[in-house]
Chain A
Amino acid sequence: GAVVSQHPSWVICKSGTSVKIECRSLDFQATTMFWYRQFPKQSLMLMATSNEGSKATYEQGVEKDKFLINHASLTLSTLTVTSAHPEDSSFYICSALDLSSMNTEAFFGQGTRLTVV
């Protein structure tokens, strides 16, 4: 299957700083990518839909000014957690849609563990 790469796989940052997470589709073009957040022992919760060349669509309750999403190319979307606080510590996962596949399959990155101290 197609490969989606996330970077970094883990990051520790100080409270008040910003952190950027990258999501790349390595062997296919993705006009749409999704960003999820997963707290320990919980399911994945969709944060936003990232569309290449346009503004992201955020789910209800997700602050767009805190979680900045940029999808500048067909293979790269970035999520920036601005002014991070300990409650932002979580596992962030992206997925990318491969529209060329028959089932419009979503491929997931390996996730980024963010710890804010």
Chain B
Amino acid sequence: GESVGLHLPTLSVQEGDNSIINCAYSNSASDYFIWYKQESGKGPQFIIDIRSNMDKRQGQRVTVLLNKTVKHLSLQIAATQPGDSAVYFCAENIRAAGNKLTFGGGTRVLVKP
């Protein structure tokens, strides 16, 4: 079946540098994408979302880019901080399918001081 996948399982980044996390999706019917942050032993925490009719959205220190041509999603974190260390998941949503979320495999971000 169709799924959402990630390229890199682990990303080590120096504190203060920018982080880029990538995600590939395969369902062209997905109309809404979300990035979540999950710390150990906790539930996913919403970071930022983007609709399929957009290609870029910015939040506080985070930017999500959507390239529908190649079905690629990325999350950019500016000036990465120790508190950003976590596992990051992308998820895709198809409203017509009852708003079920399909999660990617996850990328662990380790911030080095």
Q: Do A and B bind each other?
A: yes
Binding site for B on A (CB under 8 A): 1, 4, 6, 32, 34, 42-46, 49, 91, 93, 95, 97, 103-111, 113
A105-B46, A113-B41 known; A43+B103 contact, CB < 8 A: yes
Q: Specify which chain B residues have a CB less than 8 angstroms from the CB of A45 in the assembled complex.
A: 103
- How many residues of B are counted as interface, with CB atoms below 8 angstroms from the partner's CB atoms? 22
CA distance A32 to B46 in the complex (A): 18
A103-B49, A104-B95 known; A46+B101 contact, CB < 8 A: yes
Chain B's closest residue to A36 (CB) is: B103
Contact assessment for A1 and B43 in the assembled complex, using a CB-CB cutoff below 8 Å: no
CA distance A43 to B95 in the complex (A): 21
CA distance A45 to B99 in the complex (A): 15
A105-B46, A109-B43 known; A32+B89 contact, CB < 8 A: no
Q: Specify which chain A residues have a CB less than 8 angstroms from the CB of B98 in the assembled complex.
A: 32, 49
